[in-house]
């Protein structure tokens, strides 16, 4: 090897591999095409180095964690030796000795990284006593509407702790005690529902085992489907259509909306609608709210969006002073359920034999499970949305019914809510709410392409956009688009310090928006981009691109949403 190559390369298993700015050996190893096992490493989180599965052996026999060791030119390592195999098996045995082994009844069965590792390394027998069973910490915390916590399945990898703190700025869970007594728990071991948890579900999404899982409401949905006295109406959020296919090995980002409708009809849902229709209502109501705010001269603080329930709870817990500046609009889910219930109530008035309508929302978001129980989201004292299930839960229902999703014939969303604009569909990705609102405010169909490339698209944690509201450019709409609650907190501090000023702020709690929600199949890297591309393709192929052009919403405003009914059904305050 010449001097130039040695200066830029390291030796991995006898082969030179270039060092191109990687922060650790692990990244160089993976670039070399080696599937190095890890249970605690994620590139978007700080390095913790707890699981020790990624250890490598140096040329002098030293053992080092590849995730926390920076690469050096000329370094020589081995990733697979008898010593390393023995070491990794020992680590796995010790983890399993302190882990619940009831795999067949675990929510993460066949989707558990620890289980996968044990199979990969051929572990058949564990030499150590399983001392987690019967331990006091084995009690499940089922208090939350969104998350179930099972401490006896925790492997102390710290993924959830770092996600909750570093990305979401919540810190509802953390490490407690020291040494062999260390646990991941809430402050004072409080039930999760009594903490400042915002229900975003990112902790459960990143958890490698069943220690944190999304609470399932599938059984309640099946009960209503089987009840002959109940009409079960479903609504499907925009982001679900480009993620459900992941569960059935379809290409990432494939738009499977037609198949979803077809599958849900076969499952027994009486009516299936697209939440994007209600997103059009949200665009109209929120844009008009913004224009009224600007016209009034009350522009000291921006108007914050209200469609993300995790953001809403974060604001209430951490910044109650901002609550008056959050839009009064319900989320598209809340609007859709309210409209469905109100129309059915009007149509069935006086009919004592009419079935009771129950609405099931299929959402990418775990916080929606919390939202449907909020008092300010009720409709005349009752839940507008009866059940909220995630994309993954819908996949579970499809599997349990024995349907081969790839063979399901696509069907169209039903009338009277069978049309949604492309503007409503793009709600599923960060920047989508803003882009849809700008289309409505400007009202020029010829500028749709220009708006798309004005800076609203992309996965940056914070995007800033300035849009002229008139041809002279005298009135400028200043907008911020933020995703991830840590990014949101930084933006709030800048706004309150007077460092920046905006008219409108779109907030999504999950980085990338709803396409990466806690209820979606877990994604990293390019998967977000592929889902985003699927969303924007659905918009591009839509015959209606602007919310104001949707004939369904136009008809609703003429019939159901007249007078005070519009505010009653579409706003929470």
- State pLDDT tens for residues 484-521: 999 999 999 999 999 999 999 999 999 999 999 999 99
pLDDT of 567 reads 96
Query: Is this model's pTM higher than 0.75 or not?
Result: yes
pLDDT digits (tens, 9 = 90+) for 263-318: 999 999 999 999 999 999 999 999 999 999 998 988 899 999 999 999 999 999 99
Distance of CA 534 to the CA centre of its chain: 16
Give the position of tokens 């909220």. 388
- Give the pair of three-digit tokens for residue 383: 């839940």
> Which of the listed residues 169, 193, 214 is the one where a domain comes to its end?
214
Of the two residues 145 and 525, the one the predictor is more confident about is: 145
> Which of the listed residues 50, 80, 110 is the one where a domain comes to its end?
80
State whether 484 and 529 are in the same domain: yes
- The chain-wide mean pLDDT, for the chain, equals 93
Q: Which residues contact 84 (CB under 8 A, 6 or more apart)?
A: 55, 56, 57, 63, 78
State whether 285 and 320 are in the same domain: yes
Tell me if 85 is assigned to some domain: no
pLDDT digits (tens, 9 = 90+) for 348-398: 998 988 999 999 999 999 999 999 999 999 999 999 999 999 999 999 999
Q: Is the pLDDT of residue 526 over 70?
A: no
Taking residues 308-331, what's their average pLDDT? 97
Q: Is the pLDDT of residue 328 over 50?
A: yes
- Strand 504-508 relative to strand 303-304, pairing: parallel
Question: Residue 27 in contact with residue 33, Cβ under 8 Å?
Answer: no
Q: Which domain holds residue 150?
A: 91-214
State whether 137 and 285 are in the same domain: no
Tell me if 548 is assigned to some domain: yes
pLDDT digits (tens, 9 = 90+) for 196-215: 999 999 999 999 999 999 99
pLDDT of 138 reads 62
Q: Which residues contact 23 (CB under 8 A, 6 or more apart)?
A: 70
Cα–Cα distance, 166 to 412 (Å, whole number): 42
Question: Residue 1 in contact with residue 9, Cβ under 8 Å?
Answer: yes
State whether 413 and 504 are in the same domain: yes
Taking residues 90-109, what's their average pLDDT? 89
Q: Is the pLDDT of residue 5 over 60?
A: no
State whether 104 and 205 are in the same domain: yes
Please choose, from the candidates 457, 429, 436, the residue with its C-alpha nearest in 3D space to the C-alpha of residue 517: 429
Cα separation values, 130 from 39, 135, 159, Å:
20, 10, 23
- Give the pair of three-digit tokens for residue 232: 């079960």
pLDDT digits (tens, 9 = 90+) for 420-455: 999 999 999 999 999 999 999 888 878 888 888 888
Give the lowest-confidence range in 328-332, 474-478, 536-540.
474-478
State whether 206 and 107 are in the same domain: yes
> Which of the listed residues 214, 230, 254 is the one where a domain comes to its end?
214
State whether 269 and 397 are in the same domain: yes
pLDDT of 180 reads 81
Q: Residues 489-492: contacts with CB within 8 Å, 24+ apart?
A: 489/169, 489/318, 490/462, 491/462, 492/319, 492/322
The share of the chain scoring above pLDDT 70, in percent, equals 96
State whether 383 and 450 are in the same domain: yes
Q: Is the pLDDT of residue 106 over 50?
A: yes
pLDDT digits (tens, 9 = 90+) for 550-560: 999 999 999 99
């Amino acid at each position: 090897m010449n001097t130039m190559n040695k200066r830029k390369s390291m030796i991995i298993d006898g082969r030179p591999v270039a060092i191109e700015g990687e922060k650790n050996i692990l990244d160089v190893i993976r670039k070399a095409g080696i599937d190095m096992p890890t249970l605690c490493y994620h590139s978007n989180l700080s390095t913790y180095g707890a699981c020790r599965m990624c250890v490598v052996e140096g040329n002098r026999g030293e053992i080092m964690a590849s995730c926390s060791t920076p690469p050096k030119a000329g370094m020589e390592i081995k990733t697979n030796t008898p010593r390393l195999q023995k070491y990794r098996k020992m680590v796995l045995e010790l983890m399993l000795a302190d882990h619940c082994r009831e795999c067949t009844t675990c929510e993460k069965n066949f989707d558990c990284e620890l289980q996968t590792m044990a199979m990969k390394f051929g572990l058949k027998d564990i030499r150590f006593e399983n001392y987690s069973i019967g331990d006091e910490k084995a009690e499940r915390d089922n208090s939350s509407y969104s998350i179930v916590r099972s401490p006896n399945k925790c492997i102390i990898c710290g993924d959830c702790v770092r996600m909750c703190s570093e990305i979401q700025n919540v810190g509802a869970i953390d490490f407690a005690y020291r040494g062999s007594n260390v646990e991941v728990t809430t402050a004072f071991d409080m039930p999760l529902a009594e903490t400042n948890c915002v229900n975003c579900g990112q902790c459960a999404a990143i958890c490698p085992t069943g220690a944190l899982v999304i609470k399932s409401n599938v059984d309640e949905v099946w009960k209503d489907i089987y009840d002959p006295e109940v009409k079960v109406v479903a609504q499907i959020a925009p982001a679900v259509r480009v993620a459900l296919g992941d569960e059935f090995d379809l290409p990432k980002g494939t738009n499977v909306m037609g198949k979803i409708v077809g599958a849900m009809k076969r499952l027994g849902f009486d009516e299936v609608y697209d939440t994007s229709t209600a997103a059009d209502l949200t665009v109209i109501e929120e844009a008009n709210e913004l224009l009224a705010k600007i016209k009034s001269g009350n522009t000291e603080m921006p108007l914050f969006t209200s469609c993300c329930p995790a953001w809403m709870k974060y604001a209430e817990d951490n910044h109650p002073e901002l609550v008056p500046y959050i839009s009064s609009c319900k989320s598209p889910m809340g609007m859709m359920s309210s409209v469905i219930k109100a129309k059915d109530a009007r149509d069935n008035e006086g009919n004592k034999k009419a079935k009771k309508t129950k609405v099931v929302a299929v959402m990418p978001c775990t916080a929606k499970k919390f939202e449907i129980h909020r008092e300010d989201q009720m409709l005349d004292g009752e839940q507008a949305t009866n059940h909220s299930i995630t994309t993954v839960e819908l996949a579970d229902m499809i599997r349990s019914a024995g349907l081969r999703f790839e063979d399901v014939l696509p069907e169209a969303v039903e009338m009277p809510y069978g049309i949604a604009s492309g503007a409503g569909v793009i709600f599923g990705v960060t920047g989508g709410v803003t882009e849809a609102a700008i289309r409505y405010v400007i009202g020029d169909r010829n500028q749709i392409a220009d708006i798309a490339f004005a800076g609203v698209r992309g996965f940056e944690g914070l995007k800033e956009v300035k849009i002229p509201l008139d041809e002279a450019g005298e009135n400028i709409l200043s907008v911020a688009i933020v995703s991830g609650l840590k990014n949101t907190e930084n933006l709030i501090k800048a706004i309150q310090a007077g460092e920046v000023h905006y008219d409108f702020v779109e907030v999504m709690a999950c980085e990338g928006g709803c396409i990466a929600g806690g209820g979606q199949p877990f994604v990293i890297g390019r998967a977000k981009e592929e889902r985003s591309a699927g969303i924007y393709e659905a918009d591009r192929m839509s015959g209606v691109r602007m919310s104001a052009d949707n004939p369904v919403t136009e008809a609703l405003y003429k019939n159901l949403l007249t007078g005070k009914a519009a505010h009653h059904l579409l706003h929470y305050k």
